Amino acid sequence: MSCRSYFDDGTKLHDYEHNGKFSISKFYKALREPIAQVRWKRLLCNNKASPRSLFITWLAVLGRLATKSRLAQWNMISDTTCVLCNDAEEDIQHLFFNCPFSTDIWMKCLNLLGIGRRPMAFLDEISTAAIKCRKKNNKNQLYGMLFAEAIYNIWIQRNHPVFEGNHKLPDQTMDLILFNVACRIPDSMKVQLCR
């Protein structure tokens, strides 16, 4: 009934014609509310990282991971100190990539790709990764995969002290990241992981 005004006088229907014929798709797009486009969709859609890594990366990008600061907002815990560095409040921005533990891991990933810079703020890293994932070359595909696997493995190492009492060292975590990436790429790309 809310679309009745489009059909009452019949003149508005001509706005939705394509090559002289009524286009249902044009009409449907006009009826729908505008959809907000996210700039980071290629980071997740065309990424060959493991599904669990992509899921955790998606939650991190949306800010939905249950970090200590988020749990404190729900009054579930009172101590919000990062379990990896015991130095700052654990939120998404700190955990990825302000914490010395995660900074070390992401710097190793960047160095592996021949990128000699320090990690940026998490939102800037997401933007950079999203831009790189739009390109199809091997180095950019590896960048996206390493980003997702790094997010996942940092999150797993963050959970180990909470549930098991300890976590792996950054070098051991980096080995896990490289193994997960190497298992999902063709042999021609594995050469770039062996720097």
| Cα–Cα dist 145/142, whole Å | 5
The two tokens of residue 19 are 């090559």
Termini Cα distance of the chain: 64
pLDDT digits (tens, 9 = 90+) for 17-51: 778 787 888 878 777 777 788 888 889 988 999 99
| Cα–Cα dist 44/60, whole Å | 12
pLDDT digits (tens, 9 = 90+) for 103-127: 999 999 999 999 999 999 999 999 9
Nearest Cα neighbor of 101 from 84, 83, 80 is 84
